[in-house]
Structures are given as structure tokens and as C-alpha cells.
Amino acid sequence: MGSVGTIILQRLALGVLTLFVVSIVIFVSVNALPGDFAQAILGQGATPEAVTAFREDLGLNRPYLERYLTWLVDAVRLDFGTAYSQAQFAEFAGGAAGTGLGTVAEMLGPRFQNTMFLAGVTAAIAVPLSLTIGVLAALFRNSIFDRVANISTLTSISSPEFFLAYVLILVLAVMNPMLPSLSVVNTDMTFGQRLNATLLPALTLTLVVTAHMMRMTRAAIINLLASPYIEMARLKGMRPMRVIVRHALPNALAPIINVIALNLAYLITGVVVVEVVFVYPGIGQLFVDSVKNRDIPVVQACCLIFAAAYILLNLMADILSIISNPRLRHPK
């Protein structure tokens, strides 16, 4: 248990270090973009005095290192500052920027909840479906079912997300009006209404992520079917499905957990296109709107959340793999 704790602490420290490096990359990349943010927000008609005052209110005239350290310390406390769009409103209203306004964290909160709801619905459909198809494809290897499953999943993963989304809209919202084409959700909706509005983007994401998990499950199980203990189980007269579920699947969990975690990370960080197509009010839609409006604090906060979610889920996959496979605790 002591070695497992040490490995987990090492992975946590590595995750924190990775997130720190990513935060530097995010801040430098966003602030290296060409153009004057204050001028872009206020417009070409703004006077030089107004632009200077606006830059001073936003703190854009301070040194880069000071701005980065301030942003990082505030981000650790989940304080991402005030959105430029809100500060612009204060400028036109004659008030001081950043006082008495909605913060970036308040903007991100409901959007992040919506994205997590979408990711949860997708995971609830995709993970059991992928594992079931993967196990059946391994059980009926080289059969018609195996070939159809492989071709179907390869087709879905080879198609762009927006194309799959439009095909589903055409089939399930236009030709057979069973689901709404636009995923408009709000806090007044019941769980059933939210689920109905979220189902079409969730099905799109399911088609995207199922192939990875299904093929990894199939490959991991087939790789173990030639093992001596599997042959022994067969010679004892166990049914093929029981051999796979009781003996092969538990030992194939490490690579399966890894690929599931990577796809769950994708459901949070890679939903931008799907949210834009379905006008889903998640963090991906907010990210696109903020990029168009050059709202730098919101862009930086979204990028940091994407990076933190990706690192956290990879960290969880690493730890679960180590726990499920004792051989990984002893690399030599």
C-alpha cells in the first residue's frame, strides 16, 4: 500500500507541474496575439485617452510577469477576474471596470454544469455500449457481427463531428421529428426536459467516442485469449462468454480504463464543435463567443479548465490502471 501511495503522490505532483507549465503556455499564447485588446473592444471610434484609461482599468499596462502571477494566484482561488465584455459595459456606463459586475467564474459556473451534464449523458450511453460491443466483437471474432461493428465504428470515427451532427438532425429532427434540433436548456427545465434537449448532441458525441473504446476493448480481450490461463478455463468446459467476462475482461481493464478516461476528457474539452452546431449553452459555446469578442479573461479561464480536466482525467486513468494491474507498480 505504501508503494501505491508513493506512486499516486508522484502522479499528483507531476499533474500539478504539468498544469503549471500549461498555464504559462496559455497566458503567453493568448497575450501574444496581435492587436490591442482595449482598442478592439472599444472600437475604431474610441479616442486615445479612452483607450489608455480602459487599458489602465484592465491592468493591461502592467508588466507581463506581474499580470501572470496575479492571474495565476487568482485562478488558484477560482477567481478569474471580470470579463472584458462586462468591463466594456462599465466603461460606457461611466463606472469603474471590474466593480460590481458579474465575474468570469459566475459566467463559467452554469456553462460548466451544462457541459458536465452533456458529458454525463454521453458517458452513460457510450461506455456501456462500447464495452458490450467490444466484448461481443471479441467473442464472435471474424464473424459478420464483428465486421459490421468494426465498419460501423470506423465510419463514425472517420466522419467529422459536424457532419454526424447534421445527419442526426436530418434523421431524428427533420425527417422523423422525435428530438429538437436545437439544444436550448435552462435552469427552469425538469430533468426529463433537459435530457430530451441534450439527447441529440449526446448521440453525436457517442458516435465519435464509441469507436475508440470498443476497438480497445476488443483488442485487449483478444490479446488475452491466447494466454495459458484462458486455455485452461476453456479446457475446464467454461462457456466462452463466462471465460471473457470472468477471466479476460478483468485483466484487460488497464488499457480499457485508459482509453475510457481519454474519451471522457474529450467529452469535456472537445465538445466545442458539437455545442456550436446545436447551440448548446456549454463552456465550448462560451469559449467560441469569447474568442470572437476577444474576451481574454474568459478565453484564458476556459483554456485552463480544459487543461485541468484533461490532466485530471488522465491522472485518474493512470492511478486506476496502477491499482487494477499490480505489474505496473514494479516497472522492472
- pTM listed for this prediction: 0.81
Is residue 101 left, alpha or beta, with left meaning phi > 0 and alpha meaning psi from -120 to 50?
beta
User: In this structure, which amino acid lies at residue 74?
Assistant: D
- pLDDT tens, 158-168? 888 889 899 99
CA distance linking residue 171 with residue 175, whole number of Å = 5
CA distance linking residue 324 with residue 332, whole number of Å = 18
Q: How big is the chain, counted in residues?
A: 332
CA distance linking residue 290 with residue 85, whole number of Å = 9
- pLDDT tens, 92-143? 555 444 444 568 888 888 898 999 999 999 999 999 999 899 888 888 888 8
- pLDDT tens, 236-272? 888 888 888 888 888 888 788 888 888 888 887 778 8
Residue 328's pLDDT band (boundaries 50, 70, 90)? low
Question: C-alpha cell of 245?
Answer: 467476462
Nearest to 104 by CA among 88, 83, 76: 83
C-alpha dist (Å) from residue 86 to 89, 99, 100, 329: 5, 10, 10, 50
- pLDDT tens, 53-100? 777 777 777 888 888 888 888 888 888 887 877 665 555 555 444 444
Q: In this predicted structure, what is the pLDDT of residue 97?
A: 46
Q: In this predicted structure, what is the pLDDT of residue 211?
A: 85
Task: State the average pLDDT for the chain.
Answer: 83
Phi/psi at 283 (nearest 5 deg)?
-70, -25
Burial of 273 (0-12, 13-18, 19+ CB in 10 A): middle
User: In this structure, which amino acid lies at residue 28?
Assistant: V
CA distance linking residue 258 with residue 252, whole number of Å = 11
Task: Over range 223-230, report the average pLDDT.
Answer: 82
Residue 28 vs residue 329, higher pLDDT: 28
Percent of the chain with pLDDT over 70: 91
Q: In this predicted structure, what is the pLDDT of residue 234?
A: 82
